Chains A and B, each alone.
Chain A
Amino acid sequence: MLYTEAGQFSTTYRADRRVFRLRQDRIALGTLLAFAVAVVPLIGNDYWFSAILIPFLVLSLAGLGLNLLTGYAGQLSLGSAAFMAAGAFAAYNFNLRIEGLPLLVSFGLGGLVAALLSIVFGLPSLRIKGFYLIVSTLAAQFLIPWVLVKFGWFSNFNASGVITAPPLEIAGYDLSSPGGRYLLTLAVVIALAWLASNIVRSELGRNWMAVRDMDTAAAVIGISLPKAKLLAFGISGFYLGIAGSLWAFTYLGTVEPHGFDLARSFQVLFIIIIGGMGSILGNFLGAAFIVLFPLLLSNLAALLPVGLIDAGQLENIQKMVFGALIIAFLIREPDGLARLWQQFRARARRWPLRY
């Protein structure tokens, strides 16, 4: 009953076209954001910030980056982590070598470098398609970390080959506490998610979906395939690069290139499979799932009698359950958690009526 749309009429085209047409949706989103920005920093503790919320936000952003490419433009990539690494190392170097460069600007420049690299490795998509693309993206996945390890310049000749977060300061405010790092991450993620939700509704986003659904038809109606595809690679790379910077600087603090390995790329891919391809919301749901599910399982196991399942077996089981869930989602709900949410929402709008 709360969620009824009766009485809400769009009287202008502008109102009719808005993203959240229902008042309840707008209120809910506003409340959620207000809660995340104003209330969470007050009630959260170190564990929630550092172990759950920050990785959740960063992984959501990474998922968003890959989703733009795979979910919207239909180009499969297994190189997400490499572009994250490129973004992180580039941001580190910009910040280090240009005196007084604001933190957010270094993040942005890091994102641009990742975008350029992503475009370069996306070039083969102009000739080939489908899952053959995983080869060129895997080439990126192996080549970029190798370069970062090989040439000491990228890590400022650190003996251990790692990069460390610069002082997290914006306009004089020190954000290095867990709560501060959370707010910084949250702000970046909200801004970029807002941007993404506008991109996918723009002409470009619609072109992507046309390319994804049938590229020949898209070409026939006059969409430039090279432009659409390369822009998808570039924008996706930008998002991943920023996610990489956040991963390195607001989440972990110190990273080595090895932290952005193939397993990370798979993780990002799983986020969008579970969350939902071609959905902005899905990335957040998928990332929440990936972050929370292992914790849930280990807490569940702790309820069982001691010694029934040891820690090692638990991880094995977790791995199997994960694999099984991927397959289950692909079979039963290819559109992922986002679709489940939509169905729930549709039902809530009709409630208490069934149909």
Chain B
Amino acid sequence: MSNRNIFRKSLLAALVFGGVSSGAHAAGEQYFPLQSYRIGPYAAGGTGFFGGFIDYLQYVNANGGVNGVKLTWSECETEYVVEKGVECYERLKKGLNGAPAAATNPLSVGIAYATLDRSTADKLPLITINHGRTDSTDGSVFPYAFPLQLNPYSEVSAIVNYIGQQVGGLDKLSGRKIVTLYHGSPYGKETSEVLQKLADKYKFELTLLEVPHPGNEQQSQWLNIRKIKPDYVILRGWGVMNPVALKTAQKVGFPVDRIIGNIWSNSEEDAAPAGAAAKGFVSITTHPSGTAFPVLQGIRKDVVDAGKGNLADPKRFGTVYYNLGVVNGILNVEAVRIAQAKFGNKPLSGEQVRWGFENLRLDDKRLKELGALGLVQPLRLSCADHEGGGAVRFQQWDGQQWKLISEWVQADRGFLRPIIEASAQKYAKEKGISPRDCAKES
């Protein structure tokens, strides 16, 4: 047989094979389809987030599940690629061995966009914690999308409020200079308009500078910043752009503690590669790092020490992405728990879990019971409000880890709401959707 023949036969064999996976069957389980990503350019975020998420689900199971309903999950690698995410969504949405899917959590803007229409059609909540379409905050138009805790508008509003605090009051912002350095993508540009509105309101001077994707060259932008001499730089970075920004800032001599990173510039992976240049860098977070929170101690005891921890690198326990995964787990499980109170202690459909999300109430008392006080902000969602929180804390990189430097700083959500509603209405008109009447929802 010639070489060529071997090549052909192996090709044929590869095409013929390919079976169906099998798994253990168990009734009475609630299923979480995980569109995870553990390789590719954004793997650092994916491994941390899904590690924390899975560990929290394991922790809940180790403590009897949700009112006796055990949680189950399976992973499907998306590599942060949109089509793979869609394929995973379609593959997993039906549930696993009879356990119905509760909600999808892709942690990817692109995949979230691509599954937005599908989620509505399939009645499966789409959770975009801390990211996603801003206007999906308006649940009357987007019944199944949940940008939990913090949408991009709230994020910049909270940052501006924090800068206001630093300079001694929002009225003192007048005449100050703020530069926003943003990633050259829809994500980076998303807040430009609302920042401009905030600048008009508080009379500070705003300069928007774009860094082309992926952001491994920022010399000219930082030279520009040095020329402008702003009081603060808001960094809306993503991936490699963050450490490079910090290094370049050092190179042009801009003080790093005047750079405020946004929600995707706030992890260890964003600061650590910049080495010494990152020391003093401030960023926002909705989910402080650290292992002191009782819920993390619980996970350590019941999951990690039992040898079942999901992280390949145990040093990442309690890091920003990991804790975001834990927070995301808490919110998902709480939604299931709240929905169970209405629909009964059994595995629930996506539509029922959605009700749970819309009625999510987390006050300090409940957070204390969960062992997550200070890790999760108080949340109150409703039909009209799918975000719920809109508060962030600020943290500073000390060269090794993040240290919290503020309490919760609230965004000016009353100011943002009309902008969000207008955008949602435009979408509804374009798509021919008639919004729900939230007054009638229970």
Contact = CB atoms under 8 A, between A and B. Distances in A.
B369 to A, nearest CB: 34
Nearest to B136: A160
B189 to A, nearest CB: 6
Interface in A142-163: 146, 149, 155-156, 158-162
B426 to A, nearest CB: 8
B185 A256 contact: yes
A32 B14 CA distance: 24
Interface string A252-280: 11111111000100000000000000000
A47 B90 contact: yes
Nearest to A314: B77
A50 B39 contact: no
Contacts of A263: 81
Interface in B182-230: 184-187, 189-190, 193-194, 212-213
B431 A167 contact: yes
B17 A300 contact: yes
Given A166-B430, A299-B20, A316-B39, A159 B83 contact: no
Contacts of B193: 159
A251 B84 CA distance: 12
Nearest to A313: B39
Contacts of A259: 82, 110, 114
Contact of A256 (B40, B89, B113, B212): B113
Contacts of A160: 109, 113, 133-135, 186-187, 190
Interface size class of B (residues with CB under 8 A): 35 or more
A295 B15 CA distance: 11
B432 A299 contact: no
Nearest to B427: A164
B84 A159 contact: no
Contacts of B81: 263
Interface string A49-60: 011100100000
Interface in A100-126: none
Contact of A149 (B47, B186, B430, B432): B186
B251 interface: no
A340 B8 contact: yes
A296 B189 contact: no
A254 B116 contact: yes
B83 A253 contact: no
A228 B163 CA distance: 61
Contacts of A55: 83, 86-87
Contact of B109 (A146, A256, A328): A256
Contacts of B15: 296
Q: Which of A55, A165, A311 has the most CB of B within 10 A?
A: A311
A337 to B, nearest CB: 8
Given A254-B114, A298-B77, A328 B7 contact: yes
Nearest to A302: B21
Contact of A164 (B79, B86, B185, B431): B431
A161 B77 contact: no
Contacts of B434: none
A254 B117 contact: yes
A315 B184 contact: no
A312 B39 CA distance: 5
A256 B122 CA distance: 22
Nearest to A161: B186
B185 A258 contact: yes
Interface in B26-56: 36, 38-40, 43, 47
A57 B284 CA distance: 44
Contacts of B75: 311
A165 B117 contact: yes
A99 interface: no
8 contacts: A160-B186, A161-B185, A166-B431, A251-B86, A253-B117, A255-B114, A312-B47, A332-B7
Given A155-B186, A254-B116, A256-B110, 15 more contacts: A47-B90, A158-B427, A159-B135, A160-B134, A161-B185, A162-B133, A165-B117, A252-B114, A253-B113, A259-B114, A295-B18, A295-B87, A298-B77, A332-B3, A332-B4
Interface of B: 3-4, 7-8, 11, 14-15, 17-22, 36, 38-40, 43, 47, 75-77, 79, 81-84, 86-87, 89-91, 93-94, 109-110, 113-114, 116-118, 122, 133-135, 184-187, 189-190, 193-194, 212-213, 423, 426-427, 430-432
